[in-house]
Structure 1
Amino acid sequence: MRTFYYFLADVQQVSDQEILFDLYHIIKPAKEEPVRERMKSAVVLPRHYFDYLINNGVMQVEGMSRYKTRQEATVAIGMNIKSIGRHILFDMCFSPQTYKLWQHADAFIDEISLPADIFEEYVYRLGALSRFRYLGRVDDPLAAAEIGENDMIEFKQDFLLSKPGIIKSVVAFANSNNGNLFLGISDEGKIVGVNHELEQYGDPDKYILAITQYIQDKTTPFLTPFPKITLQKVEDKYVVCIFVEVCSELICGLDKNGEKFVAIRTNNRSFIVRDPHQIGEIYVKRKLGSEIGRRLGLL
């Protein structure tokens, strides 16, 4: 028996432009009483965004039995994820166009928390974009060295002698979760720096450009968003910090022969995946979400 869930808007005030409402979430197991959870109070949302949620079947209205939606407008919705686990904490962002979604969203419902499988279905039903913006980002090499390598932190001694490993790690983070790759820190967490490589290039900007170009040339499709690459100084040593955001597309690396490979992050390490069925699972999770994939019998 299927469980139904949806948002419920207890409308307090309506104008031509905006709706004021209290937001609830309803979980209704088959043949059982629905469970009602209060999510937010006094939410204000432009009317065309409010109507969009209703017209797409993810929200119902309480408090106004005769509420009528208007003609649909073009709407882009994004889920800005703040923390992950059994529950996903996120902001729901609204914009007229997708390209304006993150930088110029003009309405938000912030700090919503839902079970991970329910969150994934809402993303699917709304055709929403989701991102793990800066979740898990570590900018301080000293802090990273103290934490040590884990699912979101990996160390490389340098750039020039670690190129294949760098691409494998970037691809693994892009396919698994946000991650931080540090060049100039040993596997043991000792900051050794990349000063010798900076001297070879003669200019920090040229050095960072070389790393950027190498990652761009050795990954496909184009990483969006592209990793953030910065140079940090720890006492007299320089460390390269590369922050990789998880991508919605399946990302492949290119080996020395130009052959594609897929990598994922698991058990604190980056691994190349060769099983085509496992690669298919990764692709489905990227496109549909893990819960939807399971329901379709693909995972």
Structure 2
Amino acid sequence: MRQQYSLVAVVTHWTEQAVVFDFYQETRCEKADRDLLKHQAVLPRHYFDYLLHSGVMEIECDPPYISAQVQPASIGMNIRSLGSSVLFDMCFAPQTYKLWQNTDAVLEELSLPADTFEEYVYRLGAISRFRYLGRVDDPVVATQLGENDMIEFKRDFLLSKSGIIKTIVAFANSNNGNLFLGITDEGVITGINHEIEQYGDPDKYILAITQYIQDKTSPLLSPFPKISLKKVGDQYVVAIFVEVASELICGLDKNGEKYVVIRTNNRSVIVKDPHQIGEIYVKRKLGSEISRRLGLL
């Protein structure tokens, strides 16, 4: 291979259905340097063969491994953290448009230098997204950071329903985001204890929020926002973490009409320009990098 980087699979055994292997990343310069990415990784055989035939992976096996007929496959990178190294999950599905909804196999918590990671994304034609990047679980930390492109506060649920949906749709269409209920715009934690009392039970309260989000978004958010109760002193706060969706997400107004929202700085903005909506749709289907390479954006 002409490339400087290579994935290496040292196969321990395989069946007709799956392959078990140690997964390495090898850098070739004056002296080859090999780093273990995953010990005893397991992949369905057709995905393993796809990596092998993609030209980014080499194989070491005794007796020699015999690959099966290559089947279509799509690869997605769920980025967990960024820096000089990238921590990510490598996800596999039979078709690109079903990648996040119907992931068949995952190699979790792989780590590569940032430039090497970008090289593999390009060579695999992979789609990347920030799955956990930007998640803030602690309401106190959120108030210290203040509202920004990834954090928004609402005083409550019952009187802020339309704003909640607008924010969730914006995060799903733009970037991962954290929505907190029980915090004022100024960052003061007031809590939602009174609303929990109205529902009589914390579980019923969380279920009501969940059901409202399901009813007022289309299509169904995938992955669905993570909703949890956090206690700060004697006050409860709802933390909602929204991941970027793999499809264009719309909110539904009181008449059932759809609208599109994106995040711009610390504001959720309704988009009406059909061209801009089309760009968002293409990015969700193919990923921004592939869309740019195809000249669609």
Scaled by the length of structure 2, the TM-score of the pair is: 0.77
Question: Could you tell me whether the CA contact under 8 Å between 1:9 and 1:21 is conserved in 2?
Answer: yes
Per-residue CA shift, 1:233-264, capped at 9, x if unaligned? 22222211111111111110011221111111
Q: Deviations over 1:24-47 (max 9, x none)?
A: 368xxxxxxx99995734765558
Does residue 71 of the first structure (1) align with residue 71 of the second (2)? no
Q: Which amino acid aligns with 1:40?
A: D
Q: Select 1:61's aligned residue among 31, 35, 58.
A: 58
User: RMSD between aligned alpha carbons?
Assistant: 3.8
Counterpart in the other structure of 1:232: 230
* Structure 1 residue ranges without an equivalent (≥5): 27-33
CA distance in 1, matches of 2:216, 2:31: 49
What is the letter of the counterpart of residue 25 of structure 2? L
Match of 1:23 among 10, 25, 41: 25
Tell me, in whole angstroms, the C-alpha distance in 2 between the residues paired with 1:89 and 1:113.
Answer: 9
Q: 2:67, 2:131 → 1: CA distance?
A: 33
Q: Which residue of 1 aligns with 2:17?
A: none
- CA change 1:5–1:275 in 2 (3 A) is farther
Number of residue pairs aligned between Structure 1 and Structure 2: 280
Change (3 A) 1:297 1:93: closer
Cα distance in structure 2, aligned partners of 1:198 and 1:109: 37
Which stretches in structure 2 are left out of the alignment for 5+ residues? 15-19
- Contact 1:138 1:144 (8 Å CA) reproduced: yes
Q: Is 1:195 the counterpart of 2:193 in the alignment?
A: yes
How far 1:277 moved relative to its partner? 0.9
* TM superposition shift of 1:21: 6.5
SS of the residue 1:277 aligns to: helix
One-letter identity of the residue aligned with 2:151: I
The partner residue of 1:150 within 131, 148, 151 is 148
Shift of 1:203: 2.6
Once residues 14 and 233 of structure 1 are traced to their aligned partners in structure 2, the CA distance between those partners, rounded to angstroms, is 48
Q: Is the 8 Å Cα contact of residues 85 and 112 (structure 2) preserved in structure 1? A: no
Mapping of 1:154-173 within 5 angstroms?
154-173=152-171
Measured against aligned partners, the alpha-carbon deviations of 1:105-162 in whole angstroms (never above 9, x if no partner) come to: 4x5571124458656545645xx7x553333222221111111111211001111211
Identify the residue that residue 297 of structure 1 maps to in structure 2: 295
**Residue pairs, 1:1-299, within 5 angstroms:** 8-9=6-7, 15-17=12-14, 18-19=20-21, 22-24=24-26, 40-41=35-36, 45=41, 48=45, 50-55=48-53, 57-61=54-58, 69-72=66-69, 78-84=76-82, 88-92=86-90, 105=106, 107=107, 110-115=110-115, 118=119, 120-121=121-122, 124=125, 132-299=130-297
Q: In structure 2, do the counterparts of structure 1 residues 284 and 188 end up closer, same or farther at CA, with 3 Å as the change threshold?
A: same
Amino acid paired to 2:280: I
Aligned-pair identity (%): 58
Q: Distance in 2 between matches of 1:21 and 1:226?
A: 31
